[in-house]
Structure 1
């Protein structure tokens, strides 16, 4: 999962999370009956800060009360709407910094395989996009220099819960 926002009106500052636990209860005959839950470890944030020898910016962003505060970021779907042959909307609740708010994600179903040639596992591929306002979670410092809109970009391949990675 990647988050990005405008930085000083000059660029998009991007952060990604490396520890994500996503669970999908997939109903292929009726995708709208599926359910999704995701938990992200904010301490797994990676920003590619250009001067790591000066400051551990990832630790600051992940654990500081002024930023992500070290609490898990959790998304739980409430409703899935199929909008096309391979598109949909997932409406859910995002808990971030201990506060919960509704969030909508636009989803593209990229396909599936029953027996992936490299892993021999079944896989489903999805792309998702959404936007949240960081000010809604109390992160209103430095607006407008730092943009309020945070773009969520998700690229994932889901495997069965019992799959063992090698």
Structure 2
């Protein structure tokens, strides 16, 4: 028992020392490495929300996101972002609804398998925020959309040792303008997007 306790205390000391030595993420652009970053799909989430008959705000998500970020912290206006979201990855709390959303009355994932966003302009708003304008393609229709982006943090991931940067982006689009008109206005036309994005620097 004493040996087990001593081993546990030793392990805790080692882990505690490693954790305390880890440099916390920064929000200072001057300390962030420039370069090409790729989406970390396992830690990137795309959430969506619509009004459900005015009774509730119904939410779901997409996964398996891919894409690249050309990040230039010293000249953020020159940064570029490109994201791809597989439409068939849509999820909700209802299996029946999830299946319907993939069908041709809604997102039609078979015919339009990807939602994409490609930035056209980055406008900094302070050291850790920006408006990112770009072209969003959904359901075969491409329209301009602007995302409000906030830097969450950047640094070296203590587990895989990769340089990582994270952002949160929000934006709103009218789904009817992209040809997804089912049950409008009973089900809200405004589709609110939230992207929790993690990107890893490519060496």
Q: Structure 1 length as normaliser, TM-score?
A: 0.88
Residue 67 (str. 1) matches residue 106 (str. 2):
yes
Name the counterpart of 1:121. 162
Runs of 5+ unmatched residues, structure 2:
1-45
Contact 2:106 2:182 survives alignment (8 Å):
no
Contact 1:43 1:58 survives alignment (8 Å):
no
Indicate which of 34, 41, 58 corresponds to 2:86: 41
Worse overlay, 90-99 or 17-26: 17-26
Deviation of 1:122 after TM superposition, in Å, equals 0.4
Cα distance between partner residues in 2 of 1:36 and 1:81 = 13
Higher relative contact order (CA 8 A, sep 6+): 2
Cα distance between partner residues in 2 of 1:41 and 1:139 = 16
Residue 107 of structure 2: SS of its match in structure 1?
coil
Cα distance between partner residues in 2 of 1:42 and 1:140 = 17
Indicate which of 171, 190, 193 corresponds to 1:149: 190
Cα distance between partner residues in 2 of 1:58 and 1:19 = 16
Name the counterpart of 2:47. 2
Deviation of 1:60 after TM superposition, in Å, equals 2.6
Cα distance between partner residues in 2 of 1:140 and 1:45 = 17
Between Structure 1 and Structure 2, which shows a larger proportion of helix residues? 2
1:74-85 equivalences under 5 Å are 74-85=116-127
Residue 201 of structure 2: SS of its match in structure 1?
coil
Runs of 5+ unmatched residues, structure 1:
none
Contact 1:43 1:59 survives alignment (8 Å):
no
Residue 151 of structure 1: SS of its match in structure 2?
strand
Name the counterpart of 1:132. 173
Size of the aligned set, in residue pairs, is 155
Deviation of 1:141 after TM superposition, in Å, equals 2.5
